[in-house]
Amino acid sequence: MSLPSRGALAPEELEAAIISGTPNTAMEPKQVATEPTHHYNLRDRAKLKPPARTLLVTIALLCLTSISARPFKGCPSCDFSCTPDGVRLQTPTFNKKAEICCKNYDCKEVHRLNHFSIELPQSLRANTHFCRAQVWGTRKYYRMEIECPAIDICQLTDCYFCIQQLRNPGCLPNFSAILTGIGLMAILLAVCLVLKIIKAMASYLLKCGKCAICLGSLFCRCCRKPDKRSKTRLDSHSESETLLSSEKKPKMGYKPFRIWPISLPGGRVIRLITILTFVILCPPQTQQCAEIISFSAREEKFEVLRNETRCTINDATELTLLPAGQEVCLFLKDSKGNPMGTLKMKL
């Protein structure tokens, strides 16, 4: 007879368990707990908060920087105008930053100023130029553009005795004629002075050459022994020279012709004053006309369509003219080179 095990049930208990349907934990085998083979790095929620905040702040900054600020066109209370010296910008309040940029010129930038101006070179002001201004305020950003017309070259010329007056004779024709006469006289005087110096140097060189020849002949005579024949020849030459000198008639006095009949002290100064007076009283009555054409092109096109002929002729000519409202004279010629007349125009 076998004894029931420790965990076994009696027959009455077994039937009651089957009838009631309750599971019997004693009959089920015990499960053995196994350790996991893969290790997971688990973190607390408090440790995940700082990296998430940093990531969100970085994304927000990137979004802000990627958005381009659109400037406001025009500033109702700003004054951006052209001046004879350049351009001027004036704002109602102190701005954080302002910048003026002109075409073919460097930009100028200032901080914490409500008005400033820049001076442009004469080569830029003599032609039409474009400028742009940018103003950064506390909350807004303005952008303005302006087109400045060309300034008259006579207004840009702020000197009298300079080369610019000779380059632009239309501003002061009489004064430019005087300057031209003075320049020509100075050039002629310089040329005469150079020629005089060259002549003096040439005469000194000739004298030095003659002295060298005389010294050489004397040296040769001293080195050579005197003969009886040479003595007789010298005596005969001296006698013939005395006879010729006694037979010569006295020369008549020669008076050179003088252009100025009256010789006064300071004659050169008087001549210079006379020439200057003549140049001042006789202004130039002629005007130089330009004959240079910078570019000329011509195109001819012929088309025949259903017994119909079409001819198209395009002729274009670009002239080199003076800017800033100066009067220009053009000399016109025909195809054979014969003069046709002059044409005056002003831009």
Domain chopping of the chain, boundaries = 72-151, 160-222+270-285, 293-346
Q: Measure the CA–CA gap between 141 and 70, rounded to whole angstroms.
A: 8
Maximum distance among all Cα pairs of the chain, rounded to whole angstroms: 201
Q: What is the pTM of this model?
A: 0.37
SS3 breakdown of the chain: % helix, strand, coil, rounded to 5?
40, 25, 40
Is there a contact between 287 and 329 (Cβ–Cβ < 8 Å)? yes
72-151 maps to which CATH number? Answer: 2.60.40.2470
Write down the pLDDT at residue 133.
85
Write down the pLDDT at residue 264.
46
Write down the pLDDT at residue 223.
75
Q: Which residues contact 321 (CB under 8 A, 6 or more apart)?
A: 328, 345, 347
Task: Give the chain's length.
Answer: 347
Write down the pLDDT at residue 44.
52
Map tokens 């100028």 to a residue: 108
Amino acid at 187: I
Q: Measure the CA–CA gap between 316 and 299, rounded to whole angstroms.
A: 9
Q: What is the mean pLDDT of each run of 10 residues along the chain (347 residues)?
A: 50 57 51 55 52 71 54 66 84 76 82 79 82 79 83 76 75 79 85 89 88 82 62 56 53 48 54 69 54 63 77 74 67 75 74
